[in-house]
Amino acid sequence: MAKISYEGLIKAMKEKGVGKTDLSRDLGLSTRTVAKIAKGEKLSRASIGKIAEYLNTSSELIMREESCNRILQILRDEKEMRLSGGLYHELQVRMTYNSNHIEGSKLSEDQTRYIFETNTVDIGDGIPVDDILETVHHFRAIDYVIDTAEKELTEDIIKHLHYIMKHDTKDSTLPWFAVGDYKKRANVVGGRETVKPSEVHIQMKKLLDTYNAKSCASIEDIIALHAEFEYIHPFQDGNGRVGRLVALKECLRHNIIPFIIEDSKKSFYYRGLTEWRNEKGWLIDTCLDGQDTFTRLLDMLDIPH
């Protein structure tokens, strides 16, 4: 048994110019089967294959990917349903607000929630356009993380996250700013020298090769990946947000409860990153505190973990 991807099915139906009534009539599907499709319930693979053949598409394009990771599957299901008030909804709002606010966004959590829930802007004066763009972009970046969660982490995935975050922003108009690619100019963070542009690819490949060699990463491994990513600082800007999105992806990949770094813990988070190579415990404790934040969200929504 498998589930139909409602988004994939609707897209294929639009391309063929048919509706649910046509499916029922032409394929002889029962009203119960059609109702199952609408509810996202499981169908036999034979039924899915029959529908795919009728729509002249592949079964994979209209089949929803199932995961044994309960949290990831809930996120995928709710993302496809666009369910309001669930885990997907709250992750989008809370992680986007906190991650952007850590980097200086002026949008409040309520304003972030308003943009996500209404897809409109009514937030008063004095908010930079890029704050709004990068909020919407962060929503799409979380979608991409959910879609690619179980794939091995690659440089291409990381670069695409940067592209999602930075395209169409003011930075993208700068000739020396590489959107979706590694930095072209050297940069310093908090007085600390980062990896030179000419060495970024080498250092990123080394980091990912070492990390991906682990068959089963732990939360400590993912925190270490995050810290070393920030030490490399591969992009001209946007490293913090991309790094936290990568950590979210890898927690979902390895069936680990993710962590959300709250803006109120920013000073502890920055201290942990700065002192990582001297004292690893500070960053680990801050990220574990962020994991507790996510756990409280699961408890609030009555999701077992």
Residue 179 has pLDDT above 80, yes or no: yes
- Read off the amino acid at residue 235: F
pLDDT band at 210 (very low <50, low <70, confident <90, very high): very high
**How far is residue 216's CA from residue 287's CA, in Å, rounded to a whole number?**
19
> What is the predicted pLDDT for the residue at 64?
67
For residue 199, the SS3 value is helix
**How far is residue 155's CA from residue 152's CA, in Å, rounded to a whole number?**
10
pLDDT (average), residues 198-215 = 97
pLDDT (average), residues 193-197 = 96
The answer to whether residues 134 and 161 touch, using CB atoms and an 8 Å cutoff, is no
Q: Of the ranges 80-84, 119-123, 128-132, which one carries the lowest mean pLDDT score?
A: 119-123
> What is the predicted pLDDT for the residue at 38?
67
Residue 1 has pLDDT above 60, yes or no: no
Token pair for 108: 């409040």
Residue 254 has pLDDT above 70, yes or no: yes
Residue 3 has pLDDT above 90, yes or no: no
pLDDT band at 65 (very low <50, low <70, confident <90, very high): low
Token pair for 241: 């947000």
Q: Residue 249's closest CA among 241, 258, 261?
A: 258
pLDDT band at 190 (very low <50, low <70, confident <90, very high): confident
> What is the predicted pLDDT for the residue at 162?
98
3-state secondary structure 48-103: HHHHHHHCCCCHHHHEECCCCCHHHHHHHHHHHHCCCCCHHHHHHHHHHHHHHHHC
Q: Residue 64's closest CA among 83, 46, 43?
A: 43
b/e sequence 271-282, b meaning 16+ C-beta within 10 Å: ebbbebeeeeeb
> What is the predicted pLDDT for the residue at 23?
80
What one-character DSSP code corresponds to residue 18? -
Angle among Cα 70, 31, 53 to the nearest 5 degrees reads 75
> What is the predicted pLDDT for the residue at 121?
86
Q: How far is CA 187 from the centre of its chain?
A: 26
**How far is residue 232's CA from residue 196's CA, in Å, rounded to a whole number?**
8
- CA-based end-to-end distance of the chain: 25
Residue 245 has pLDDT above 80, yes or no: yes
> What is the predicted pLDDT for the residue at 39?
67
With 0.95 as the threshold, say if the pTM is over it. no
What's the alpha-carbon Rg for the chain, to the nearest Å? 21
Higher-confidence position of 48 and 157: 157
| Candidate ranges 50-64, 68-82, 153-167; pick with highest mean pLDDT | 153-167
Residue 59 has pLDDT above 90, yes or no: no
**How far is residue 129's CA from residue 31's CA, in Å, rounded to a whole number?**
48
H or E element: which one contains 211?
Answer: helix 200-212
**How far is residue 34's CA from residue 21's CA, in Å, rounded to a whole number?**
9
**How far is residue 267's CA from residue 264's CA, in Å, rounded to a whole number?**
8
> What is the predicted pLDDT for the residue at 41?
67
pLDDT (average), residues 114-119 = 94
For residue 225, the SS3 value is helix
> What is the predicted pLDDT for the residue at 61?
73
Q: Of the ranges 59-68, 106-115, 172-181, 236-245, which one carries the lowest mean pLDDT score?
A: 59-68
pLDDT (average), residues 277-283 = 97
Higher-confidence position of 6 and 214: 214
pLDDT (average), residues 291-295 = 98
Token pair for 237: 């800007």
Q: Residue 3's closest CA among 32, 46, 54, 40?
A: 40
pLDDT (average), residues 225-247 = 98
pLDDT (average), residues 242-259 = 98
The answer to whether residues 195 and 183 touch, using CB atoms and an 8 Å cutoff, is no
> What is the predicted pLDDT for the residue at 116?
96
Place of tokens 């209209």: 62
Q: Residue 73's closest CA among 42, 113, 46, 49?
A: 42
